[in-house]
Structure 1
Amino acid sequence: MGSHAPEMPILVDDNTGVWMTDALPMLYVPRHFFVNNHMAIEEELGADRYAEILYKAGYKSAWYWCEKEAEAHGLSGDAVFEHYMKRLSQRGWGIFTIENLNIREGYARVRLDHSAFVYQYGKVNRKVDYMFTGWFAGAMDQIAESLGYSVKTKAEQTQCAAEEGVEYGVFEVAPITA
């Protein structure tokens, strides 16, 4: 259980109790707590509406994270996206593997194994990892803009391990076409 162990320190401010990792404040909660809250909101709003809300919030958050992490670690281009996937994997969301990445063109394919959502939902024969889609587009667009590329992207999950007969999730990032 140590091959993906975080290399990042968790600093706790003695006065405020705020946890910091990589220069960003963090919250540390059990997976079941987070996913059970996610499921309750989905039940109230419906999966499609909740996915729309999470896409926008996730896009904005990924943009900010990539911008701050690139700055903090002196990273640019592919290295920022790779660092993002590594950190997501180290934080218990699942194991994210970049299968294809072309920032200039706005394309990426990311594989997800061991999804925290799939562990909680089980085989429900639908895509349950929609929280991540905005993250990939937000990361791609922030990195592209930082490199001076004008591409804008969208992301979608094309398969999920919660679907019958599927072993892992796949996300595709592609440019938005008019």
Structure 2
Amino acid sequence: MQARVPIDVDPDTGVWMTDGLPMLYVPRHFFVNNHAAIEQALGREAYARQLYGAGHASAYTWCDAEAVTHGKQGLDVFSHYLDRLSSRGWGLFDFIEVDPERAHARIRLRHSSMVLGQPEAKGLLCYMFAGWFAGAMDWVNRERRPVLRAVCEESACQAQGHAHCTFTVTLQK
């Protein structure tokens, strides 16, 4: 697979940009080692809560920017999000099923960077993505009245022996 994400480097600052958004390019082990160290220091549950909120906000902001940049709307933006994540080394993401009218989706992740970067680890390792998918679904439903709010959780992980990781997005109760 060839990289499908355009990268522009500012010659004066060295800042990498894709679609007008500043980017960082780091080795997987660098990111995963930092992730694991913070998880160990805070505990998985506390760290997961922090990542969820930050990831939700970041995905929502990303969807907003990409919709404008590419002239996309609704579910096409969420699909574009999964495609871009897949093109950037996080793993290969796709919808198993999706119904934005119910703020529902099941997302498959194959070759997760979190699993590949921690070959000895077990359990639900990819929880950091959950807030991302809830944020993207909330962006899709942002103009609905009443506004739907989504929640997401990793419901299966390849590190547990499953064929792939699965995330389930549901309507917040």
Q: Same fold (TM over 0.5)?
A: yes
Match of 1:170? 166
For 1:176, give the aligned amino acid: Q
1:157 matched residue in structure 2? 154
Query: SS of the counterpart of 1:145?
Result: coil
Change (3 A) 1:47 1:10: same
1:175, CA displacement in angstroms? 0.4
1:112 counterpart = 2:113: no
CA pair 85-148 structure 1, distance change in 2 beyond 3 A = farther
Q: CA RMSD in A?
A: 1.2
1:29 alignment partner, one of 1, 13, 26:
26
SS in 1 for 2:6: coil
Structure 1 unaligned runs (5+)?
A: none
Aligned positions of 1:43-58 closer than 5 A? 43-58=40-55
Tell whether the 8 Å contact from 2:157 to 2:166 is kept in structure 1 after alignment.
Answer: yes
1-structure distance, mates of 2:17, 2:76: 22
Q: Output the TM-score relative to the length of structure 2.
A: 0.96
Q: TM-score normalized by structure 1? A: 0.93
Q: In the alignment, which residue of structure 2 is the partner of 1:82?
A: 79
The answer for the alignment partner of 2:97 in structure 1 is 100
Contact 1:110/1:170 (8 A) holds in 2:
yes
Q: CA deviation at 1:88?
A: 0.3
**Structure 2 unaligned regions, length at least 5:** none
Read off the aligned partner of 1:135 and give its amino acid letter.
Answer: W
1:158 and 1:123, CA in 2 relative to 1: closer, same or farther beyond 3 A? farther
